[in-house]
A and B are shown apart, each in its own frame.
Chain A
C-alpha cells in the first residue's frame, strides 16, 4: 500500500518541476526547434519541387532543341535537294540549249553551204556559158567563112525545127 500511495511532497515538487520544464522548453526549445524543422522541411520541399520543375524545363528545352535540330536538318536536306535539282535542271537546260543552238548553227551552215554552192554553181554556169559563147563565137567565125557550110547548117537547123 505504501508503494501505491502518492506522497503529497513529491506530487507538489513534480507539479512544479514538470510545469517549469514544460514552460521553459516550450519557450526556449520546442517552439524554435519545431519552427526551424518545419521551415527546413518546407524549403527542402520547395527545393525539390523547383528541381523537378527545372528538370521538366530542361526536358522541354532539350525536346525543343531536338525538334529544332530535326527541322533544321530537314530544311538543309530540302535545300540540298532543291539545289541538286536546280543544278540538274540548269545542266539539262544548258545541254538542250546547246543542242538547239548547235542544230541551228548546223542548219545555218548547211544553208550557207548550199547557198554558196548555188552561187558557185551559178558562177560556174556563167563562166561555162561565157566560155561556150566565146567558143561558139570563135567556132562560128571560123565556120561562117565558108558559105557552103553556112547553108548546110541552116538547112540542118530548119530540119530540126518541126512545125507542130
Chain B
C-alpha cells in the first residue's frame, strides 16, 4: 500500500526512541511482592514504605497532588517504574545519576551519595544531606535540579511525536504537489488551515505569514501535550501542559515575541497614550502591567484548565478508594468517561484559545496606525 513506507518509518523510529529510552534510563522491573500488595487499594496508598499488612489511611489530596505534580521516576505499575536520570548543578560540578538510587531493593527511600554530596529525595525535591544526617538547607539552595523528570521526559516524547507527525506530513506534501490531501495529511490539513484562516489571518492581518510557524507550533504543542496528558498510561499521563513551568515558558515566548515584534505604534500607545500629561506616569504603570498581565493570564489559564481537568478525573477515581467499595466504581467510571470526553474538548479548546490570544496580542503589536 501507499502508506506502508510512512507507517514503517514511524514504527521504526518509534521503536528506536523507546529503545533509546530504555537504554538511557534504568528500568527496574522487580518481581512484585505477591503477598499483600495485591489489593489495588494499597497500591494507591500514599507511601508504601511499610510492607506490613495493615491498610493505611487513603488521603486523596496527597494522591492527586502527587499525580499532577512532577516526579523523578515514571511510575508504570505496581513497583515498576522508569527511573529517570537526575542531573544536578552544584557549585562543585554536575551530578548525574539515576533516580533509582533513591530506592533500595525494598522500595524504601534511601539517601544517595554522589560525587560531591549526599542527596535525599524529599517529596521530589532533591536535598543535600549534611554530615549530621540532616538536610543542609544552605547547600540545598545552591543545588539546581536539571533532572529529566517525568514531565521533561513526557515533553521530549511529545516533541518527538510532533516532529515525526509533521515532518512525515511535510514529506507527503512534497510527494503530492498540487494533488488533494490524502491519509493523515488530510487529517492535519484542516487544522493547519484553521490556524491560518481563523486564528492568524483575522487577528494579525496581512503580516500573518511571519508568525505562522510560531502559532502552529504553539497550537500543536499544546494540543498534543494536552491529549497525551489524558492518556493514563505510559507514554501519556504526565501533566505537562498543566505544569506552571511549561505554561510559563510558553507565555514567556509570547511575551518576548509580542514585545520584540511590536512596532512604533505599539510602543507609542504604551508610552505616549492620548491622555493629559499628568496622567502619563499612571498610564505607564498601567500599560506595563498590561504587557505582563496578558501573557500571565495565558499562563494561568492553560495551567488551571488542564490541572483542574486532571484533578477532577483523579477525584472521581479516588471515590472508589474513599468509599472502599467496588459498587461505586461504575458511577466513577461513568463520570470519568464523561469528564474525559469533556477534557478532549478542553484539550482542543485550550490549544485554540492560547493560539488565538497569542495571535491577538501579536496582531495588536504589529498593527499599523489606525
Query: In terms of DSSP, what is the predominant structure of the interface of chain B?
Result: helix
Are B152 and A32 in contact, CB atoms less than 8 angstroms apart? no
Picked from B152, B192, B244, the residue with its CB within 8 Å of the CB of A9 is B152
B6 part of interface (Cβ distance < 8 Å): no
Q: Which B residues from 108 to 127 make CB contacts under 8 A with A?
A: none
Asked, given contacts A10-B152, A14-B249, A17-B156, whether A37 binds B192 with beta carbons under 8 Å apart, the answer is yes
| CB atoms of B189 and A17 under 8 A apart | no
A2 touches B69 (CB 8 A): yes
- B-side interface residues toward A, CB under 8 Å? 65, 68-70, 87, 144-149, 151-152, 155-156, 159, 162-163, 166-167, 169-170, 173-174, 177-179, 189, 192-193, 196, 209, 212-214, 216-217, 221, 243-246, 248-250, 253, 303, 307
Q: Shortest Cβ distance from B55 into chain A, in angstroms? A: 27
Could you tell me if B214 and A6 are in contact, using CB atoms closer than 8 angstroms?
Answer: no
Binds B, one of A18-26, A50-58, A66-74, A144-152: A18-26
Distance to closest chain B CB from A29 (angstroms): 4
* A36/B245 in contact, CB under 8 A: no
Residues of B with C-beta under 8 A to A21: 159, 162-163, 217, 221
19 contacts between A and B (CB under 8 A): A2-B65, A8-B144, A9-B144, A9-B149, A9-B152, A10-B152, A10-B243, A12-B146, A13-B146, A14-B155, A14-B250, A15-B249, A17-B156, A18-B217, A21-B221, A26-B217, A29-B167, A34-B196, A40-B179
Query: In the complex, A19 Cα to B146 Cα: how many Å?
Result: 17
A20-B159 in contact given A7-B245, A10-B246, A13-B146 (Cβ < 8 Å): yes
Q: Shortest Cβ distance from B261 into chain A, in angstroms? A: 15
Are B173 and A17 in touch, CB under 8 angstroms? no
Interchain nearest-CB distance for B162 vs A (Å): 6
Inter-chain CA distance A34–B178, complex, in Å, is 13
**A3 close to B65 (CB less than 8 A):** yes
Contacting pair A3 B244 (CB below 8 A): yes
A11, B159: Cα distance in complex, Å: 15
Q: Which of B69, B174, B213 contacts A3 (CB 8 A)?
A: B69
Question: Could you tell me if A33 and B173 are in contact, using CB atoms closer than 8 angstroms?
Answer: yes
Q: Which residues of A contact B149 (CB under 8 A)?
A: 9-10
Chain B residues lying within 8 Å of A13, measured Cβ to Cβ, are 146, 148, 152, 155
Is B174 within 8 A of A36, CB to CB? yes
A residues within 8 A CB of B253? 18
Docked Cα-Cα span, A34 to B217, in Å, equals 13
Evaluate contact between A22 and B217: CB separation under 8 angstroms.
yes
Chain A interface size, under 10 / 10 to 19 / 20 to 34 / 35 or more: 20 to 34
Query: What 4 pairs between A and B have smallest CB-CB spacing?
Result: A6-B245, A29-B166, A10-B245, A26-B213
CB pair B244 A30 closer than 8 Å: no
A13 to B154, CA, bound (A): 11
A164 within 8 A of B: no
Contact of A18 among B177, B178, B250 (CB under 8 A): B250
Give the residues in chain B near A3, CB-CB below 8 Å: 65, 68-69, 244, 307
> How far in angstroms is the closest Cβ of chain B from A19?
8
Instruction: List the A residue with the shortest CB-CB distance to B246.
Output: A14
Partner of B212, one of A6, A34, A40, A43: A34
Bound Cα distance from A2 to B163, whole angstroms: 32
The docked-state distance in angstroms from the alpha carbon of A12 to that of B145 is 10
Given A18-B253, A22-B217, A25-B213, 5 other A-B contacts at CB below 8 A? A17-B159, A18-B217, A33-B170, A34-B192, A37-B196
* Chain B residue nearest to A26 in the complex (CB): B213
- Please determine whether B178 and A11 come into contact, CB atoms closer than 8 angstroms: no
Task: Report if A18-B216 is in contact (Cβ < 8 Å); known contacts: A36-B177, A39-B177, A40-B178.
Answer: no
Rounded to whole angstroms, the CA-CA distance of A21 and B165 in the bound complex is 12
| Cβ-based interface call for A4 (8 A) | yes
B88 nearest CB across to chain A (Å): 9
